[in-house]
Amino acid sequence: MESNIDLHEMDAMVRRIQLAAERLNRLGEKFPTLAKNSLHVLTSAKTLELNIGDLLHLNDAKGAKVA
């Protein structure tokens, strides 16, 4: 297990998840279940984005790395 967490890398990963879920949502126009489930993924990704954003803000304010 890593002792240092790269919050910027995690933030980038969440952005990729959001982009993929948005694409799935567009592709699911004729497949309602896919469209609905992709919205659930987007909601979860938004929660992750907010959590990581809070940590980035705290980390920047303290000037220390999260370990």
66 φ/ψ angles, rounded to the nearest 5 degrees: -80, 130
Local confidence band at 16 (pLDDT 50, 70, 90 cut-offs): very high
Angle at 14 between CA 6 and CA 19, to 5 degrees: 145
23 inside domain: no
Q: How many domains is the chain partitioned into structurally?
A: 1
Q: State pLDDT tens for residues 20-45.
A: 999 999 998 899 999 999 999 999 99
Structural domain range at position 48: 30-62
Please indicate, yes or no, if residue 19 is contained in any of the structural domains: no
pLDDT given at position 5: 79
- Phi (first) and psi of residue 32, to 5 degrees: -55, -35
In a domain, 39, yes or no: yes
CB half-sphere exposure, 39, CA atoms < 13 A: 7
The answer to whether residue 10 sits within a structural domain is: no
Residue 8 lies in a domain: no
Decide if pLDDT at 3 tops 70.
no
Residue 6 lies in a domain: no
- Residues 4-17 as b/e (b if ≥16 CB within 10 A, e otherwise) read eeebeebeeebeeb
Considering the domain boundaries, does residue 54 fall inside one?
yes
